Amino acid sequence: SSGRPAAAGALERAMDELLHRAVPAMPAYELREKTPARAENQCADFVSFYGGLAETAERAELLGRLARGFGVDHSQVAEQSAGVLQLRQQPREPAVLLQAEDRLRYALVPRYRSLFHHISKMEGGVRFLVRLRADLLEAQALKLVEGPHVREMNGVLKNMLSEWFSSGFLNLERVTWHSPCEVLQRISEAEAVHPVKTWMDMKWRVGPYRRCYFFSHCSTPGEPLIILHVALTNEISSSIQTIIVKEYPLSETEERNKITTAIFYSLSLTQQGLQGVELGAFLIKRVVKELQKEFPQLGAFSSLSPIPGFTKWLLGLLKAKAKEHGRSGLLTDCESQEIAELTGGPALETLQPLLSSGEWAQSERLARALQAPLMRLCAWYLHGEKHRGYALNPVAHFHLQNGAVLWRINWLADVSLKGLTSACGLMVNYRYFLEDTAANSTAYLGCKSIKASEQVLSLVAQFQKNSKL
């Protein structure tokens, strides 16, 4: 950041000056293939200027200026549109129409796209663009930058990245204790779902009865993009503790005939810039194939997934209903009463701090009292709460999109502090019936219908019945 100007006005001027220098003008349509390759310097200027901006807000500012100032030339688009329309009215031979359309297509390419294109050809360029998009997403999330131009640029970048990180260019790599420490350190740091504490934790997760796979791009082997942890078990696990916390050591050699089930218990994207580039679904598919090759007898595939947001959603509900007074529909009378006795106050109110802190789990009696209502509410949260018609919970949406079945909600499945505070200790299995995933996926995406098991449907019915009273 040595070259960074002192005053804000100066910085902005420097940004504008840089962008005018670095973003190539669109050559005329006729010359689009005759234009000499961009001198690498200008792209390199952009990359190094951007790298020199230490603060998120500065980066956001630059990206905003790029999106707003170097997009599509609307008058060109209008002119070419008019040309196409005229041909529609006065038809000529197809070649003329096709060329008019191609001119229009060309006019619709935002100018910044060729900056990204040139950068992608530099050494480390694609990696740079992944980070740039991560910054852009973060800036949008932090409201540092907004508006349709930025959204458009994000879309353009996502499409470019989707092309480059297409499944044909991804390598599946398996992680073992023989993998480079570098890789294991990254895997360990990237583990967002169930954090890795020590190196022996990590050894455990790549040891017998466990598998850890990741995708790398073929141009950067050994660099994990997205990581999947699998446990090989003899049943669909109902608790993360049985997978992650065990007495050491397991026997060194796997007894293959004890392995009937594969549990996907953690999926972590290492590069936030690749959000929306379909990697996760494809990774699960490839891993299933890999596991079937290794264990032809594998009969069941299922996730054991967290339910992020459930506690928050529930607390919101409690707060709202507590104000309303009267029957909330959340708890039965009987439940309300029992809880009130245990907590020493009106259930909807006393529960709030207990659920928020996870302290309820320390009282066996309270836990017993809460099991039925929490299971029921969680089933509803997963199955009934929607965003634009699709499941509100993002993990649920992900697995349902892939064609999984909402299989089983598990009580006291993650009793770590994180598990208790984020989802009241509940976890859920999304089960993959391989022959049905395509149909399920189509039904979910097309008709927004969610396939769920008896257990879940019955819990949902209980919720509905209770809330209607």
Amino acid at 438: A
Q: Interface with its own copies includes 454 (CB under 8 A)?
A: no
Q: Which of residues 421-440 bind its own copies (CB under 8 A)?
A: 438
Cβ proximity to its own copies, 180 vs 394, nearer residue: 180
CB neighbour burial string for 132-161, b if at least 16 within 10 angstroms, e if fewer: bbebbbbbbeeebbeeebbebbbebbbebb
In angstroms, the CA 445 to CA 425 distance is 29
Per CB under 8 A, the list member of 138, 152, 201, 335 interacting with its own copies is: 152
Please answer whether residues 262 and 245 qualify as being in contact, where contact means their C-beta atoms are separated by less than 8 angstroms.
Answer: no
Residue number, 108 or 417, with CB nearest to its own copies: 108
Which region among 13-21, 164-172, 232-240, 454-462 touches its own copies (by CB under 8 A)? 164-172
Query: Side chain identity at 130, as an amino acid letter?
Result: V
Looking at 278, 349, 385, 436, which residue binds its own copies (CB under 8 A)?
A: 278
Comparing CB distances to its own copies, the nearer of 164 and 411 is 164
Q: Choose one: 9-17, 71-79, 310-318, 320-328; the region binding its own copies (CB under 8 A).
A: 71-79
- Output 29 or 411, the one with its CB closest to its own copies: 29
* Straight-line distance from the first to the last Cα atom of the chain, in angstroms, rounded to the nearest whole number: 64
305 is catalytic: yes
**Residue 464: closest CA among 404, 400, 390, 456:** 456
Is residue 399 among the annotated active site residues? yes
**In this structure, are residues 427 and 419 in contact, taking their beta carbons and an 8 Å threshold?**
yes
Give the whole-angstrom CA distance, residue 363 versus residue 357: 13
Please identify which residue in 332, 416, 441, 464 interacts with its own copies, judged by CB under 8 A: 441
Q: Which is nearer to its own copies, 212 or 366 (CB)?
A: 212
How far is it, in rounded angstroms, from Cα 166 to Cα 225? 12
Residue placing its CB nearer to its own copies in the complex, 438 or 461:
438
Given a contact cutoff of 8 angstroms between Cβ atoms, the answer to whether 259 and 208 are in contact is no
Q: Is 9 in the site for its own copies (CB under 8 A)?
A: no
Least CB distance to its own copies at residue 135 (A): 20
Q: Which of 118, 194, 217, 399 is catalytic?
A: 399
Of 72 and 340, which CB lies nearer to its own copies in the complex structure? 72
Yes or no: say if 110 and 155 are a contact pair by the CB < 8 Å rule: no
* Residue 1 makes contact with its own copies by CB under 8 A: no
* Closest to its own copies by CB, 250 or 334: 250
User: CA-based angle 55:56:62, to the nearest 5?
Assistant: 95
Q: Which of residues 24-43 bind its own copies (CB under 8 A)?
A: 34-37, 39
| Contact window for its own copies (CB under 8 A) among 44-52, 312-320, 442-450, 457-465 | 442-450
The answer to whether 177 and 202 are in contact (CB under 8 A) is no
Nearer to its own copies, 171 or 234 (CB): 171
Q: Which of 305, 336, 383, 422 is catalytic?
A: 305
Stretch that binds its own copies, among 1-9, 49-57, 114-122, 225-233 (CB under 8 A): 114-122
Which token pair is 377? 């509410």
Q: Which of 20, 121, 256, 319 binds its own copies (CB under 8 A)?
A: 121
CA–CA dist 193, 395 (Å, integer): 11
SS3 of 429, please? strand
For residues 68 and 149, is the Cβ–Cβ distance under 8 A?
A: yes
Within residues 172-191, the interface with its own copies by CB under 8 A covers: 177-182, 184-185
| Among the listed residues 11, 72, 340, 372, the single contact to its own copies using CB under 8 A | 72
Cis peptide before 27 (omega within 30 of 0): no
**CA dihedral of residues 153, 155, 157, 160 (deg, nearest 10):** -140
Site for its own copies in 199-258 (CB under 8 A): 199, 202-203, 217-219
- Name 243's Cβ contacts closer than 8 Å, sequence gap at least 6: 231, 233, 237, 263, 265, 304
- Nearest distance in Å: CB 151, its own copies: 8
Q: How far apart are CA 426 and CA 423, in angstroms?
A: 6
Q: Which positions from 87 through 106 interact with its own copies, judged by CB under 8 A?
A: 88, 94-95, 97-99, 101-102, 104-105
d(CA 118, CA 160): 12
Element (H, E) at 337: helix 333-343
Alpha-carbon torsion 197, 203, 205, 206, what sign?
positive
Which of 1, 48, 166, 362 contacts its own copies by CB under 8 A? 166
Q: Which chain residues interact with its own copies by CB under 8 A?
A: 34-37, 39, 71-72, 74, 77-78, 81-82, 84-85, 88, 94-95, 97-99, 101-102, 104-105, 108, 120-123, 125-126, 147-149, 152, 155, 163-164, 166-169, 171, 177-182, 184-185, 199, 202-203, 217-219, 278, 281, 438, 441-442, 445-446
Which active-site residues does the annotation give?
Answer: 305, 399
